[in-house]
Amino acid sequence: MRRLLLGFCLGLAALGQAEAQPSADTLATIKARGQLICGVSVNAIGFAVPDARGTFRGLDVDACRAVAAAILGDAGKVRFVPTTTQVRFTALQSGEVDLLVRNTTWSLGREAQLGLAFASINFYDGQGFMVRKSSNVTSARQLDGATICVQPGTTTELNLADYFRSHGMRFTPVIIEQVEEIRAAFVSGRCDAYTNDASSLASFRAGQGNGDDFLMLPEIISKEPLGAVVRKGDWRFFDIVRWSHFAMVTAEELGITSQNIDSFANNPNPDVQRLLGRSGDFGRAMGIENDWAVKIIRQVGNLAEAWERNITPIGIPRGINALWTQGGLQYAPPIR
């Protein structure tokens, strides 16, 4: 019994030592490299897409730029790595990218099983359906027996099966891995409907010259909180990514924009003074400069500016992504 107890104690000690092993210092790596490496979508209008000059633009891109501004003082010091649905998590786990901001849904399985942590939610989404207007389908409940284009290995595929099962409906999946191929299959008529996050469907429609030929059905069948993902254990970097988003939310709450930020320099509001780094020592507590939020707001803007620049043009209303003071879900804890 004494030997068994000794072995058990030694096992616990070894486990404790294993858990106490220091994780990679992503912040130090980024500073030494002089660049943040961010994994984004391959081609998602409004979220991450290269323009005619090859410069990436979008809401997810701005989230990456905010982190670069906070750490390096320059929102332009980012290398964007387009990642597919199949390789996005591997790219983050292996260290190929420092940060993943790629229309990726926060779920228990992804945090508990993949060694990853979601630091923020920059877009509250939900899964929807798109059909051709010529089909005369106006509700997802009319899709009984339909063929539906869907990507494999995603929450989208699981939600689709759950929805049809719960409503006693049948469907035939058309499973294609590459997003461009699945969109082409839908356009060519290989499937009756295409399902994905509503934001992805809107992005797809915005990129079509005949976008008016397609209809997004009214049903939203899931909760899809999309945001920034980091490796578990590197909590200082996690804090920076999380609070970079909260800084943009807080700036919007306080009416601070990239255009008027200088006029707030001497504003007596304590919340303003803490956000701008003029009181408190919150930046240094995270290993960066105290004016980290100023750099984000000046170079990237507040959350409303990022939304107007990227999401409004593709026709998605702010809705539940509005500030909590306006009936939405975007809510930042206090900087204090």
In a domain, 14, yes or no: no
pLDDT tens figures, 73-111: 999 999 999 998 889 999 999 999 999 999 899 999 999
pLDDT tens figures, 149-162: 998 878 899 999 99
Domain boundary among 179, 198, 222: 222
Q: Structure tokens of 161?
A: 């099966």
Of 321, 295, 241, 309, whose CA–CA distance to 59 is shortest? 309
Question: How many domains does one find in the chain?
Answer: 2
- The stretch 283-306 carries a mean pLDDT of 98
pLDDT-derived band at 137 (thresholds 50, 70, 90) equals very high
In terms of residue numbers, what domain contains 280? Answer: 26-125+226-323
Of 160, 197, 198, 154, whose CA–CA distance to 176 is shortest? 154
209 and 97 in a common domain: no
**pLDDT value for 20:** 32
pLDDT tens figures, 173-227: 999 988 889 999 999 999 999 999 999 899 999 888 888 899 999 999 999 999 9
CB 55 within 8 A of CB 116: no
121 and 149 in a common domain: no
pLDDT tens figures, 235-249: 999 999 999 999 999
- The stretch 120-126 carries a mean pLDDT of 97
User: Is the model more confident about 123 or about 5?
Assistant: 123
d(CA 210, CA 251): 38
CATH number for the domain that contains residue 146: 3.40.190.10
Reply yes or no on whether the pLDDT at 3 is more than 50.
no
Domain boundary among 222, 246, 264: 222
**pLDDT value for 23:** 57
231 and 207 in a common domain: no
In a domain, 21, yes or no: no
Out of 10-14, 34-38, 86-90, 316-320, least confident range:
10-14
